[in-house]
């Protein structure tokens, strides 16, 4: 007989903080997960918990009768955290059987919670370079004496620009391009570093910072001379403390100088000259932060090096160039382990990067537009070990290498690609019996990694790399399943809200931080789908992580967008002036390469469908936040707008004025159809899918929901048929062409092998990868029924030619997983429900309510429709369609 035991508390977190050191809250909420095994008590529910606080040599404990383990308030009786204070916090939980879990402890440390805690100032060169050119990185440093090195040793630092720190020649921290990218006029992150033991010594010490222009002052966007958006001077702010007292801070006693770095730019790359030594030390000056800028302890994780990828092949192009293939489109840079000394004057190594090769085997650099994406290293009279760039990143699979032949003699040992992204916790995955679908999912993951670099960008390689709001809105549910994005995306939404409310009178910028109107003198245009991110994404985060905090924080943003940002016509729908324009279903496959907004679906139908949807979402948020009057207001608005949409776009038989996949997808997604319309709309959607030979007909607005809509319309096998299509355009077409990330266009690489001629042709753009949400929730059958997965749906829907699938994600309660297999007409399902949650299991049409634990079920399985469904062809078709089903 197996002895059952309580689960184990596995992780304690404070608010949304990725780290427990240097947090910015006085009373952070507490959350903890559970681990379980096959020996854990099934159907385990928390009935109480006990908290322990050890501070100032004293311990206090409090027992609370509650089932909640997510966003538990800091006890009222417990004093708030003071700046720099370190508290050891413990938690244990009790189940229905009155048995307690073991204690789990974690130390939390407050950052600098009061602006008065800062003695340091931002220091910069007293005499800088030309303001309208790229800014050469520089060093600032100070030598200081330390009487005693006992007590906690910390560095608090930030920059107007980007920086790296060292003390006594040893690197402090492992962050890349800190402090990252924020809306600097409102918020600037500072970092808290724990100084490793032995780095600081009693006596003389030297602290040094390398400073670059980064996003604060560097070139951004494709617009000409778009520099200095937030300021033309860059500098760094550093405060070193021992035992809670400042021992050295940046001020005008610090000095600055240049070193071998001639340039390190976001788009254009780095220039390193080993023949150049260090210039003489010169005086610094202090500069001010922007007037309204608050120093913030970030909840988001820092950018870090997370992986190294070795070269897969070395080839010679027709023009004689040496090209390394790393086998994976990634974001980061190439590190050279051994750079030889020069054999002749002006000898240099040039590394040039591209995502793809042209049809004839040369570097495909045209899609990079004006970004040079090149690192250049001038060789000196000494060898250089482990060289890598400092303040630049590249999006690439291929690296063209020019330099001394010895460099490539052992290229797989000497050159390595370093992968860089925000260091979020990986929590989810998916796998199935179809290898092309598996590769599609891997592409989605790599696309996320390459574009979640400080904030969610659209692409990582060309002269853009901006925080486009529409891309993230489409992709957020997928991201939240795969990675712990709560703090990362909340941080970005705070920037969005600050700009929207303080600068743009309720209008949500197209990109956050907003860079596009800096040199035009006009504010951002109000755009549906993109602007709707302020409503949709907070609700997605609430569903994924269970916290109402993001809804509270974004409430004003949501209502300001709905009430002020959106310009309305007489019927309450979006104002549709002559020559009005909406991005809407951007980059649908029928849009010509040079006109990506020329979609098949009426732009304002898309905008108005989303408007109806967000009215309902705001009403739901009001209910969650217990805002009764607001709930009634937005419910009434939703009812009126839904009727206005039907009057404007819907026929009595369920046909929409735009007879497209996207139009019907949105009708199902936002519940725009009454009962009498559903059959007609479903018939039209299925007919369109069959008529298009199951090839995709949606852009950014329709793609996230199209397979869900086909399933909701009662045609699961048509959804699978579209998923398994490999002709162009489809999700598997790029996979069949060798893609290792999701593309911006359905045909970024044409069937001929030529690069799409459009100006916007990225090979790493995650928006169309939103299909992974269908893989997680429908194919595998794992999704939340209540916020934070407090109640979980287990309902795999096998179809197509798949014979197995599995998915898992780490919820706020613990691991949830499903693994199904088909064999001889039987569906076998293994699934895991985390402690303190329940599940509704629906297999074979039968519903079962199940508690936590590791379970197995087997039922008879019947296919949900004809497989494979046949395409629609006209009676007089002369040629039968090519069979491009990926079995």
Return the active site residues.
Answer: 464, 744
Q: H helices within 203-360, ranges in order?
A: 214-217
For β-strands 374-378 and 269-273, DSSP reports them as: parallel
716 CB-near residues (< 8 Å, 6+ apart): 710, 778, 797, 799, 864, 865
SS3 assignment, position 856? strand
626 CB-near residues (< 8 Å, 6+ apart): none
CA gyration radius, the chain: 28
SS3 content of the chain, % helix, strand, coil (to 5): 25, 30, 45
Distances (CA, A) of 431 to 482, 721, 831: 13, 18, 14
In degrees, rounded to 5, the angle at the alpha carbon of residue 39 between the alpha carbons of residues 37 and 41 is 95
624 CB-near residues (< 8 Å, 6+ apart): 542, 548, 551
Counting beta carbons within 10 angstroms of the beta carbon of residue 743, is it exposed (0 to 12), middle (13 to 18) or buried (19 or more)? Answer: buried
Cβ contact 273:262 at 8 Å? yes
- What are residue 857's DSSP bridge partners? 829
- In order, the DSSP letters of 143-207 are EEEES---S-EEEEEEEESEEEEEETTEEE---SSBT----TTTEEE-EEEEPPTTTS-SEEEEE
| Residues 674, 29: Cα–Cα separation, whole Å | 43
If we measure between CA atoms, which residue out of 726, 769, 733 comes closest to residue 750? 733
Helix (H) or strand (E) holding 294: strand 294-296
Q: What is the DSSP letter of 563?
A: I
- In order, the DSSP letters of 317-338 are -TTS-EEEEEEEEEEEEEEEEE
486: number of Cβ within 10 Å: 28
434 CB-near residues (< 8 Å, 6+ apart): 724, 800, 801, 802, 886
| Residues 78, 304: Cα–Cα separation, whole Å | 35
Cβ contact 3:782 at 8 Å? no
Counted residue by residue, the chain has a size of 887
For β-strands 261-265 and 269-273, DSSP reports them as: antiparallel
845 CB-near residues (< 8 Å, 6+ apart): none
Buried (b) or exposed (e) across 572-581, using 16+ Cβ within 10 A? bbbebeeeee
If we measure between CA atoms, which residue out of 366, 433, 470, 444 comes closest to residue 758? 366
| Residues 464, 115: Cα–Cα separation, whole Å | 34
- What are residue 395's DSSP bridge partners? 331
| Residues 840, 785: Cα–Cα separation, whole Å | 9
SS3 assignment, position 493? helix
| Residues 70, 549: Cα–Cα separation, whole Å | 11
Please report, to the nearest 10 degrees, the dihedral formed by the alpha carbons of residues 210, 216, 217, 223 taken in order.
Answer: 140
SS3 assignment, position 541? helix
| Residues 69, 71: Cα–Cα separation, whole Å | 7
């Amino acid at each position: 007989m197996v002895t059952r035991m309580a689960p184990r508390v596995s992780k304690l977190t404070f608010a949304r903080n990725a780290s427990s050191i240097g947090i910015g809250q006085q009373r952070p909420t507490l959350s903890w997960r559970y681990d379980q095994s096959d020996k854990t008590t099934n159907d385990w529910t928390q009935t109480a918990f006990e908290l322990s606080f050890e501070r100032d040599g004293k311990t206090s404990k409090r027992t609370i009768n509650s089932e909640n383990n997510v966003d538990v308030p800091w006890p009222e009786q417990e004093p708030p955290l003071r700046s720099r204070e370190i508290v050891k916090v413990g938690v244990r939980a009790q189940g229905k059987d009155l048995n307690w879990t073991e204690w789990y402890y974690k130390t939390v440390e407050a950052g600098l919670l009061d602006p008065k805690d800062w003695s340091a100032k931002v220091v910069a060169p007293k005499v800088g370079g030309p303001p309208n050119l790229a800014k050469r990185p520089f060093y600032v440093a100070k030598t200081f004496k330390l009487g005693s090195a006992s007590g906690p040793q910390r560095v608090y630092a930030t920059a107007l620009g980007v920086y790296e720190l060292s003390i006594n020649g040893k690197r402090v921290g492992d962050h890349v391009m800190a402090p990252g990218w924020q809306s600097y006029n409102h918020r600037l992150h500072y970092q808290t570093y724990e100084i490793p033991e032995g780095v600081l010594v009693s006596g003389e010490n030297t602290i040094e910072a390398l400073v670059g222009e980064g996003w604060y002052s560097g070139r951004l966007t494709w617009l000409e001379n778009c520099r200095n958006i937030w300021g033309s001077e860059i500098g760094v702010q550093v405060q070193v403390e021992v035992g809670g007292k400042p021992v050295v801070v940046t001020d005008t006693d610090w000095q600055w100088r240049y070193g071998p770095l001639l340039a390190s730019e976001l788009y254009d790359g780095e220039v390193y000259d080993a023949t150049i030594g260090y210039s003489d030390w010169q005086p610094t000056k202090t500069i001010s932060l922007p007037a309204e800028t608050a120093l913030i302890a970030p909840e988001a994780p820092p950018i870090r090096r997370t992986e190294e990828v070795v070269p897969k092949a070395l080839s010679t192009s027709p023009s004689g160039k040496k090209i390394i293939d790393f086998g994976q489109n990634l974001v980061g840079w190439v590190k050279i382990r051994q750079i030889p000394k020069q054999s002749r004057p002006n000898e240099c190594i040039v590394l040039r990067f591209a995502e793809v090769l042209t049809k004839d085997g040369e570097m495909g650099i045209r899609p990079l537009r004006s970004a040079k994406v090149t690192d250049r290293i001038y060789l000196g009279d000494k060898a250089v070990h482990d060289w890598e760039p400092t303040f630049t990143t590249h999006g690439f699979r291929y690296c063209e290498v020019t330099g001394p032949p010895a460099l490539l003699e052992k290229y797989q040992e000497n050159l390595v690609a370093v992968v860089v992204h925000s260091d979020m916790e990986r929590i989810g995955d998916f796998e199935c019996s179809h290898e092309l679908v598996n590769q599609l999912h891997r592409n989605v993951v790599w696309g996320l990694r390459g574009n979640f670099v400080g904030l969610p960008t659209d692409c990582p390689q060309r002269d853009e790399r901006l925080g486009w709001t529409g891309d993230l809105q489409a992709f957020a549910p997928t991201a939240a399943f795969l990675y712990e994005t709560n703090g990362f995306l909340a941080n970005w939404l705070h920037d969005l809200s600050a700009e929207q409310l303080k600068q743009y009178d309720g209008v949500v910028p197209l990109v956050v931080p907003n860079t596009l109107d800096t040199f035009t003198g006009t504010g951002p245009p109000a755009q549906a789908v993109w602007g709707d991110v302020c409503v949709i994404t907070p609700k997605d985060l609430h569903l994924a992580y269970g916290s109402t905090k993001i809804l509270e924080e974004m409430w004003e943003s949501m209502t300001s967008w709905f009430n002020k940002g959106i310009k309305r016509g007489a019927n309450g729908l979006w104002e549709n002036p002559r020559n009005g324009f909406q991005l809407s279903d951007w980059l649908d496959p029928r849009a010509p390469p040079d006109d990506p907004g020329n979609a098949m679906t009426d732009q304002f139908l898309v905008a108005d469908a989303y408007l109806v949807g967000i009215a309902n979402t705001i009403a739901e948020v009001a209910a969650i936040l217990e805002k009764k009057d607001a709930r009634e207001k937005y419910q009434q608005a939703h009812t009126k707008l839904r009727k206005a949409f039907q009057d404007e776009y819907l026929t009595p038989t369920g046909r929409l004025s735009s007879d497209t996949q996207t139009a019907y997808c949105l009708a199902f997604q936002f519940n725009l159809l009454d009962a009498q319309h559903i059959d007609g709309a479903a018939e039209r959607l299925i007919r369109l899918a069959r008529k298009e030979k199951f090839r995709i007909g949606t852009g950014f607005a329709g793609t996230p929901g199209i397979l869900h809509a086909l399933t909701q319309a009662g045609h699961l096998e048509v959804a699978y048929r579209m998923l398994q299509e490999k002709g162009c355009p489809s999700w598997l077409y790029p996979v069949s062409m060798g893609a290792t990330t999701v593309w911006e266009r359905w045909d970024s690489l044409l069937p001929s092998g030529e690069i799409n001629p459009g100006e916007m042709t990225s090979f790493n753009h995650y928006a169309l990868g939103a299909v992974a949400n269908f893989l997680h929730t429908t194919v595998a059958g794992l999704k939340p029924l209540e916020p934070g997965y407090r109640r979980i749906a287990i309902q795999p829907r096998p179809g197509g030619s798949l014979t197995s699938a599995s998915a898992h994600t780490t919820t706020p309660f613990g691991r949830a997983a499903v693994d199904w297999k088909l064999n001889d007409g039987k569906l076998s399902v293994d699934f895991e429900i985390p402690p303190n949650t329940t599940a509704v299991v629906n297999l074979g049409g039968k519903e079962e309510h199940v508690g936590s634990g590791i379970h197995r079920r087997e039922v008879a399985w019947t296919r949900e429709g004809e497989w494979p469904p046949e395409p629609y062809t006209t009676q007089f078709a002369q040629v039968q369609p090519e069979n491009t089903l990926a079995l």
